[in-house]
Structure 1
Amino acid sequence: MGLDSAGKTTLLSRLLTGQLMETSPTIGFNVGTLNLDKKTSLTVWDVGGQKSMRDNWRYYLDNCKAMVFVVDSSDPARLPEAQKVLKKVLSEKNLEGVPLMVLANKKDLPNAMTIREVRRRELRDHR
């Protein structure tokens, strides 16, 4: 999950195919299965991040075993919005005890925040 244009679909595509591809805004969701070895696979959901879609996110949380929240590290202006949205998602009862990873995406772009900068802004904004 994450805000629109954070790179969720590109990330899923890269994990599934190993290649970068052109994407467009996700309306609804994309889903794929990652086979980690002969016995282990992960079903990965990429849920659209537009503001109009966010109220529907809770419907994708049943049986969620882990969540990756993707933020665009090249867009510091949207970090407060991402933090607010993440806080709301984490208040869902279905996510109690579910591991969370916040992924700072788009690190390859000029002027992208470092992971440390993303974390520092998060701490500052939650005091």
Structure 2
Amino acid sequence: MGLLVGKLMDIFWSQERKVIIVGLDNAGKTTILYQFLTNEVIHTCPTIGSNMEEIVLKKTHFLMWDIGGQEALRSTWNTYYSDTEFIILVIDSTDRDRLLTTREELYTMLAHEALRDASVLIFANKQDVKNCMTTTEISQLLTLSAIKDHPWHIQGCCALTGEGLSAGLQWLQSRTTAN
């Protein structure tokens, strides 16, 4: 009987997971969100506040909050942390000048109590642009190897073509079964 109930729950019950998409302005957060949703490029403008969309992968419903990345808005990111299971950090792989700012923001987030159990997916966006930083270079500059208390994964991608995005979503999906 327990096995039957378990199978019925697998069929009819879906899991809902909260995801926040963060990163500095112009990194490609909103483009990635709508690429997940529509599989096409949507013309966007800078996000003031947030966008929220539901992305369904297999039986998992990801409630994705795309949060504005302008400097004045970053201090409000913590209002979205409650019940967050996944952080997607989007990085502009061509923006070498602001990578240290991104690192500071990442470590500030990871120190927040509400995110103590969150897994981190880093999208190294704009990998299609000549002379962009590689995922290895970004990983070293962000000192990702120092992150021991949060599962993390870095994935190269191009938000405009969608390349690399499904691999990142698959990593998120694999983390739902690991938790």
> Do the two structures share a fold, i.e. TM-score over 0.5?
yes
What code does the residue aligned with 2:34 have? S
Asked whether the equivalents of residues 85 and 117 of structure 2 are also in contact (C-alpha less than 8 Å), the reply is no
Farther off after superposition, 50-59 or 113-122: 113-122
Of all paired residues, the percent bearing the same amino acid is 37
Say yes or no: does 1:83 pair with 2:103: yes
More relative contact order, 1 or 2 (CA 8 Å, 6+ apart): 1
Q: Distance in 1 between matches of 2:80 and 2:140?
A: 30
Say yes or no: does 1:53 pair with 2:73: yes
Which residue, 82, 99, 102 being the options, matches 1:62? 82
Match in the other structure for 1:22? 43
Q: Deviations over 1:29-79 (max 9, x none)?
A: 001001113x32111010000111111111101110111111111111110
Match in the other structure for 1:9? 30
Q: Distance in 2 between matches of 1:122 and 1:35?
A: 30
Say yes or no: does 1:105 pair with 2:114: no
Unaligned runs of 5+ in 1: none
Equivalent pairs counted in the alignment come to: 124
Give every structure 1 segment of 4 or more consecutive aligned residues whose post-TM-superposition deviation is greater than 4 Å.
none
What code does the residue aligned with 1:86 have? L
Asked whether the equivalents of residues 53 and 63 of structure 2 are also in contact (C-alpha less than 8 Å), the reply is yes
Report the alpha carbon displacement of residue 105 of structure 1 after superposing the two structures with TM. Answer: 0.8
SS at match of 2:76: helix
TM-score between the two structures when normalised by the length of structure 2: 0.66
Q: Distance in 1 between matches of 2:32 and 2:127?
A: 13
Unaligned runs of 5+ in 2: 1-21, 147-179
TM-score between the two structures when normalised by the length of structure 1: 0.91
CA RMSD of aligned residues (A): 1.5
Report the alpha carbon displacement of residue 98 of structure 1 after superposing the two structures with TM. Answer: 1.0
Report the alpha carbon displacement of residue 121 of structure 1 after superposing the two structures with TM. Answer: 2.1
Asked whether the equivalents of residues 24 and 102 of structure 2 are also in contact (C-alpha less than 8 Å), the reply is yes
Higher alpha-carbon Rg: 2
